């Protein structure tokens, strides 16, 4: 990966993890796009990015870290595909669920794109049912009775 883009991703993650909105937006192209495939949400531009981060920060007080065995899989000057984990606590309403105060660790895959030396977008893929179970709203109660099930 281009060292300048690698440094951009590091700056972005540092700003994101400290909930520094101006610092986060400074790493994003003005026409950036964010897509959350699990919830079906999509945001565009800096205003959209601010809404996206505001939602995650106020709902989950979340931090992004790479876990054991997680890594970047593809890195080019056009895009970056990687695994990471959201670590957080459910502190605000989410999809109609009142805050539970429960902590969670939710793995995800993200695809970053770049434009004009900035991040042009993020596309998130994760298991929404797993996240909901961790915050206390099991969307599929019968899963708890499956043999060999790993529980959080």
pLDDT digits over 85-105, tens only? 999 999 999 988 999 999 999
State yes or no: pLDDT of 150 exceeds 70. no
What value does the mean pLDDT take over residues 59-85? 90
Shortest CA distance to 152 belongs to which of 136, 37, 90, 60? Answer: 136
Q: How far apart are CA 107 and CA 113, in angstroms?
A: 20
What pLDDT, on a 0 to 100 scale, did the predictor assign at position 124? 95
Q: How far apart are CA 126 and CA 38, in angstroms?
A: 6
pLDDT over 70 percentage in the chain: 95
Shortest CA distance to 100 belongs to which of 141, 131, 63, 65? Answer: 131
Average pLDDT, the chain: 91
Gyration radius from the chain CA atoms: 16
Query: What is the value of pTM for the model shown?
Result: 0.86
CB within 8 Å of 71: residues ≥ 6 apart: 82, 83
Split at pLDDT 50, 70, 90, the class of 151 is low
Both tokens assigned to 81? 């595909």
State yes or no: pLDDT of 26 exceeds 80. yes
Give Cα separations from 94 to 11, 14, 87 (angstroms): 28, 24, 16
Q: Which position has the higher pLDDT, 113 or 151?
A: 113
Both tokens assigned to 105? 């660790």
State yes or no: pLDDT of 62 exceeds 70. yes
Both tokens assigned to 133? 């179970």
């Amino acid at each position: 990966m281009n060292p300048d883009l690698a440094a951009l991703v590091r700056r972005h993650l540092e700003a994101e993890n400290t909930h520094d909105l101006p610092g986060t937006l400074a790493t994003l192209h003005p026409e950036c796009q964010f897509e959350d495939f699990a919830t079906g949400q999509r945001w565009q531009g800096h205003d959209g990015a601010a809404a996206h981060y505001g939602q995650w920060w106020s709902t989950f007080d979340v931090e992004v870290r790479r876990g054991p065995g997680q890594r970047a899989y593809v890195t080019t000057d056009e895009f970056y595909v990687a695994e990471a984990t959201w670590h957080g606590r459910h502190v605000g309403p989410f999809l109609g669920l009142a805050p539970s105060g429960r902590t969670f660790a939710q793995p995800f895959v993200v695809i970053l794109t770049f434009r004009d030396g900035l991040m042009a977008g993020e596309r998130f893929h994760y298991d929404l049912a797993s996240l909901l179970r961790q915050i206390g709203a099991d969307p599929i109660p019968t899963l708890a009775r499956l043999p060999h099930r790993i529980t959080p």
